[in-house]
Amino acid sequence: MNTLDIKTDDDGIAVITIDLENRSMNVVSPAFIADFDQAIDQITGDDRTKGAVVTSGKSSFIAGADLIQIVDEIDPAADPRVAFAKWSSLQQLYRKLETCGKPVVAAINGTALGGGLELCLACHYRVAANNPKAKLGQPEVLVGLLPGAGGTQRLPRMIGLEAALPLLVQGTHLSPEKAAELGIVDQLVDAGQEVDVAKQWILDGGEAVQPWDKKGFKVPGGAGLMSPKAIQTQMFGVALLQKTTNHNYPAPIAIMSAVYEGSVLPIDTALQVESKYFAELLTNVVTRNMIRTLFVSKGAADKLARRPQGIEKRRVTKLGVLGAGMMGAGIAFVSARAGMQVVLLDRSKDDAEKGKDYSRQLLQKRVDRGRMTAEAAADVLELIQTTDDYADLDGCEYIIEAVFEDRGIKADVTSKTEAIIGSNTIFGSNTSTLPITGLAEASQRPENFIGIHFFSPVDKMPLVEVIVGEKTSDEAIARTLDYIQQLGKTPIVVNDSRGFYTSRVFSTFTREGIAMLAEGVNPALIENVAKHAGMPVGPLAVTDEVTLELAYKIGRQTKQDLGDDYVETPADSVMEKMVVDLDRRGKRFGAGFYDYPDGGRKHLWRGLAEHFPMADVQPPPEAVKMRLLYVQAIDSARCLEEGVLTHPADGDVGSIFGWGFPAYTGGTLSFIETVGLREFVAEADRLAEKHGARFEVPGGLRTMAENGETYYGLASNGDTRSAA
C-alpha cells in the first residue's frame, strides 16, 4: 500500500499509519480510499485482531481532501445524480469503518481537517495530542463545499445542532483543547502518548458501536420540528446566513439543510441526504470558482508559481523601509514579525518612532488577547531600528520605499539610498499607481528596481502585487517573491502600467458608483446593491475611506499624463464638485459622500440629493449590480490582453484578495466564464451602447466568445494571451 501501513502488535491491536508517499501532508485521495478500504477488510477478516488505531506518519493527521483533483472534475453541466454516485465512496468507506464490528480509535497527532476530521468522527473514540499548533475543523464551506463524508451528520449527533452548526457553516478551526471541551475529542494527552492511550482504550473493552447506531439515540439538545431549541437554532442560523452571504454562496444553505433534514432521520438515510446536497454543490459553478481560485490558484501563488527558474533562493535578514507612515509602519511590523531586522527611516527620528508606535500598539493587542507573550512582543519590537540617517541602511539586502506618492520625493530618496546600499540590494517601490519604469529612471541600477505594492492595513491584507518594470531583472523578481513568502503573504506578478492591475481595476468600481450618482441613481441603492453583490463596501464608502482628495489628484494626474487619450466619465465632474467646490474630501477630513457625526454612526450625506438630484425612475437592483461587476471584469480582460496580467489566475487571485471582488465568482475573469463568454459579450455590448466606451470588450475576448473558448481552457494549453 502506498498511502498507509498496518502493523499488529502482540495484544492484537492493529496500528494503521497513514503516510502518503511524496506528499508533505496526508490528503484524502483515490489511492488512500482504496488502501483504507483494504485495511478495514484486513482488520475485520483477522480473528486475532481486537481493534485498530488510526494515526499518521507525518506531523499532521490528514489535511483534507485532494481539492486539485476535485476541481479538475467539477462539471457545472453534469447531472447531480452522476456526481452522487461518483463522490459518495468516501462516505461509504467511513460508514463501513464504524460498522465493522471492531473498535477503532483515532490517535490524532496533529492537524485534522475536512475529510481527515470526518475519519476521526467515524472512529469509535478519539485521542488527541495536546498540540496548540494543531487544528481540527470542517473548513469545506470556505471553498464552496460541505463536509461530504458524514461531517454534517456525525458532528451534530456528537455535540448537538447548536454547537455544530457554527463550526460547519463558518469553517471554524479548533485547537485540540477546544475540541475536547466541545466533546469532539474524547481524551487529550501529551504529544507522543496518543497511540498508547488509544490502544489502552481498546484493551479496556472499548465499544465498537457508535451512539447513533444504538436504539433510542437522540441528538443532544434535540432536533426537528418537535424541538423548540432546534427550531430556534435553525431560524437564527438562516437569518445569520442571509446577513453574511446575501444568498450568493450555496454551500452554507446546503449545510443548514443537510443538518436539519438529516438530524431527524436514521444515520444511513441521513448520509444519503448529505450526499444529495454534496452532489448538488459539485455541479455548481460557484464551487468550481471558489476551489479553483481560493485553493488551487492561491496555493500555486503561495508556492511562488511565477518565480523565475534557476535563481538561488534567498532570505532577507536586514530590511530597510523608507517612510514611517501608515504603509511603511505596517511593512516594518510584518517584516519584524517574520524575524527580520528592520531599519525604519523617516525625515526625523521622532517621525520614525511614531511609525514604530504602530508596531507597539499591534503587539500590545496580541499580548492583551493572550496570543503572544510580553517577552515575544519585546523581541519583535527590538528588531525595528528607527533612524533619520541613510547610513544606517548599510547592509540591507532589500529596501522598500513607502514615501508619499510623488515622483520627485521618490526620486530623491532613491538617490540617497543608492549612495549607501550595496550593488546587489533590491529596491522595491511600494507605489499604488505610479508606473515603475518611470520611477526606475531615478535609479542607477534599474535592473534591481521593482514595484512591491502592499495593501492597507498591511498586517491584515494577504496580497502583495509585484510590478515588473521594463528593465527589472529576473533576480529582482525572484528575490522579491522570496521576501513575500517570508512574510507568509500571497504574491501576484504583473507587468508595468498605469495603476498596474489592482489599483487600475478597483478604480473602475469606485468610478462607476460615482458615475451612477451623477446620473441620478439613489446613492443608497448604489451602496446596498454593491454589498449585496458581494463587495466588502459600497463604492461611495470606500472612496471616502481612501479619501476623495487622493482619488481626485490621481484622476488629474492621469488626465495630464494621457492628454488627448484620456476618456472623460461622469465621475470626473462629481469628484471636482465634491473636492473643489464643496470641500468634502473624505472620511479623514470628516466629510465626504458620508457624514461622520461625533459619537454617532456614519450615514450618507443628505446634501447629495441637492447636488446630484435623484432621477424619477430608478434602475432595478440587478442593473446596478451588473454595471458594478461588469466594469471590473472588462478592465481585467483588457489587462490580460495588454500583457499587464500574464495568467488569468493572477487576475482572479488579485481581484479577490486585493480589493475584495466577490469570492463566489472566483474573481473577475472567472466571473466572465461563469456568465458565459457569449452572454457576457452580448450584455457588455448593450452596456457600452447605453453607458459608453468603458464597457467595450477587448478584441481578444470577443474572439474567444466567437470560438467558444475560455480563459482557463486556453491557459491549460499554455496560451495565456486570451486569443487576442
Q: Which residues are catalytic?
A: 453
8 Å CB contact between 452 and 464: yes
CA-wise closest residue to 153 among 108, 88, 206: 88
User: Using CB atoms within 10 A of its CB, is residue 666 exposed (0-12), middle (13-18) or buried (19+)?
Assistant: buried
Terminal CA-to-CA distance of the chain, rounded, Å? 48
Task: Give the whole-angstrom CA distance, residue 357 versus residue 280.
Answer: 51
CA-wise closest residue to 168 among 186, 185, 191, 150: 150
Chain centre distance of CA 222:
35
Tell me, what DSSP letter sits at residue 211? G
- Cell for 528? 446596498
For residue 553, how many other CB atoms are within 10 A of its CB?
Answer: 15
Task: Give the whole-angstrom CA distance, residue 117 versus residue 108.
Answer: 9
Q: How is the beta sheet containing 398-401 ordered, strand by strand?
A: 384-387, 341-345, 318-322, 398-401, 426-429, 449-454, 463-468, 490-495
- Cell for 448? 534591481
How does DSSP assign 101-165, residue by residue?
SS-EEEEE-S-EETHHHHHHHHSSEEEEE--TT--EE-GGGGGT---TTTHHHHHHHHH-HHHHH
- Residue that is written with C-alpha cell 512582543 in the block: 377
- Residue 398 pairs in a beta bridge with 319, 426
Task: Give the whole-angstrom CA distance, residue 652 versus residue 658.
Answer: 10
8 Å CB contact between 612 and 518: yes
Helices then strands, each counted (H, E), the chain? 32, 19
Tell me, what DSSP letter sits at residue 66? -
Task: Give the whole-angstrom CA distance, residue 625 versus residue 634.
Answer: 14
Q: How far is CA 718 from CA 70, 533, 708, in A?
A: 21, 33, 17
8 Å CB contact between 118 and 88: no
Task: Give the whole-angstrom CA distance, residue 567 versus residue 569.
Answer: 7
8 Å CB contact between 696 and 702: no
SS3 letters across 304-329: CCCCCCCCCCCCCCEEEEECCCHHHH
CA-wise closest residue to 450 among 487, 414, 406: 414
Three-state DSSP state, 343: strand
Q: 115-122 vs 89-98: helix axis angle to the nearest 10?
A: 30
Q: 502-519 vs 523-533: helix axis angle to the nearest 10?
A: 140
Task: Give the whole-angstrom CA distance, residue 26 versus residue 18.
Answer: 7
Task: Give the whole-angstrom CA distance, residue 277 versus residue 251.
Answer: 9
Q: Is beta strand 449-454 parallel, antiparallel or unpaired with respect to 463-468?
A: antiparallel
Task: Give the whole-angstrom CA distance, residue 482 versus residue 419.
Answer: 25
- Residue that is written with C-alpha cell 483543547 in the block: 177
Three-state DSSP state, 204: coil
